[in-house]
Structure 1
């Protein structure tokens, strides 16, 4: 049995190539751009001994302060088991610690350590020249414009996140 999918012989087919007019074009281009950005950022983080998944948690901890693992899961788009592994890694490396939450013995908050802050800052220094490669083909002012547009897509008006 086949699904009832509208069929048009002149349908625009999704690609991620320049000029794609399909309704999927923006998402596909964002995905390709994400892959390129992730590759560059992974390269920046590798000498520091962490991966993007670790850095994502450090970002939340720097931004929000001590955070329970459940909230780290939501903030990073990870799953419970994945966050547990990342926090275990961060603890082993001395970059974060789990601490009891007053009033709830079952819950632990994750907190960045001074060593974690140092690594977080070092990552930004290491990433700066590599990040410039991502926008090297853009004209002056375009990187800022791109950041503005992506920010408005990622955080629509009224979005508290």
Structure 2
């Protein structure tokens, strides 16, 4: 009879720094995400933002005004959450919401001047925090990490 360790094709997951199981990549990515998210959330809070707000501002600042349906697609959110997020941003005067003349059922969301200013402030405020997260890495490793993660998330991209 074989023991349990021999029956598994890879070591069992431990969710620790020495984990080399088949789950290690996902577990490490989750921990990295949680760590970065907590740091970013701390920067956004004084600006009256949450990370879900930031995701919408990123999409709008990058692509311009778009429908709430397109925002759902761009952020991976759901419709109910998107309505609440846009409500929050609109009440903070960071976005405006209007309708298309051709189809009044379509709600178009656009960033305001104030929204751009808050978004730019978030960028300035988060830079030193992110620098602190990667301060222990060797020179060039941060760029390498970003490169590897970019290729992991966007396969086939050089």
- Give the structure 1 partner of residue 37 of structure 2: 38
State the Cα distance separating 1:28 from its structure 2 match.
0.6
Spell out the pairing of 1:68-83 with structure 2 (5 A cutoff). Answer: 68-83=67-82
The size of the alignment, in residue pairs, is 152
1:137 and 2:136 aligned: yes
Alignment of 1:111-130 (within 5 A): 111-130=110-129
Q: Quick one: distance in 2 between partners of 1:103 and 1:69?
A: 16
Unaligned runs of 5+ in 2: none
SS of alignment partner, residue 78 of structure 1: coil
Contact 1:41 1:127 in 2 (8 A): yes
Q: CA deviation at 1:141?
A: 0.5
Deviations for 1:95-123, whole angstroms, at most 9, x for unmatched residues? 00112124211101110101000000000
- Following the alignment from structure 2 to structure 1, what is the Cα–Cα distance between the partners of residues 105 and 74? 20
Name the CA distance, whole Å, in 2 between partners of 1:143 and 1:25: 20
1:47, distance to aligned residue in structure 2 (A): 1.0
Conservation of the 8 A alpha-carbon contact between 1:15 and 1:28: no
Q: Which residue of 2 aligns with 1:4?
A: none
SS of residue matched to 1:98: strand
TM-score, length basis structure 1: 0.89
Give every structure 1 segment of 4 or more consecutive aligned residues whose post-TM-superposition deviation is greater than 3 Å.
none
Deviations 1:29-64 (A, max 9, x none): 000000000000001111111111101100000111
Structure 1, unaligned stretches of length 5 or more? 1-7
Return the TM-score normalized by structure 2: 0.91
Q: Residue 26 of structure 1: SS of its match in structure 2? A: helix
**Deviates further, 118-127 or 12-21:** 12-21
1:9 aligns with 2:1: no
Per-residue deviation, 1:15: 2.8
- Cα distance in 1 for residues equivalent to 2:136 and 2:18: 18
Say whether residues 1:103 and 2:111 are aligned partners.
no
Superposition pairs of residues 83-94 of structure 1, within 5 angstroms: 83-94=82-93
